[in-house]
Amino acid sequence: MKIAYFAWVRERIGKSEEIVTPPEHVRTVADLAEWLKGRGEEYAHAFAEPGMVRAAVDRRHVKPDAPIAGAAEVAFFPPMTGG
């Protein structure tokens, strides 16, 4: 599964994307964020503030409880500031 990071989430983690294979118990976006947090200090820093990181599954906005089964791409990013 491809994971993409944007803005300060990308800067804190130090990469814009990566391919990961989460274990089976990782079922939702929130599970994935929690699992990523355990991968190192940079991830823990990126996901430090609960609720501050938004997510998209296959390029659609989702809530933390959204399932990731079958997803090709999950993205994590701060609240948007476009327009």
Partner 1 sequence: MADIRVQAADFDVAAEVAAVQAGAQDVGAVVTFTGVCRSDGGRLAALELEHYPGMAEEEIARVAAEAERRWPLKGLCVIHRFGLIRPGENIVLVVTASAHRQAAFEAASFLMDYLKTRAPFWKKEHLADGTSGGWVAPRQEDDEATARWE
Binding site for partner 1 (CB under 8 A): 4, 6-8, 56, 59-61, 75, 77-83
Question: CB of residue 60 vs partner 1: minimum separation in angstroms?
Answer: 8
Q: Which is nearer to partner 1, 10 or 43 (CB)?
A: 10
CB-facing half-sphere around the CA of 40: CA atoms within 13 A? 4
Task: Give the angle 5-9-12 at the CA atoms, nearest 5°.
Answer: 115
Q: Which is nearer to partner 1, 39 or 59 (CB)?
A: 59
Task: Return the bridge partners of 62, or none.
Answer: 55
Question: CB of residue 79 vs partner 1: minimum separation in angstroms?
Answer: 4
Q: Which is nearer to partner 1, 43 or 76 (CB)?
A: 76
Question: CB of residue 34 vs partner 1: minimum separation in angstroms?
Answer: 22
Alpha helical stretches, state H, the chain: 7-13, 29-37, 41-46
- For the chain, the C-alpha Rg in angstroms (whole number) is 12
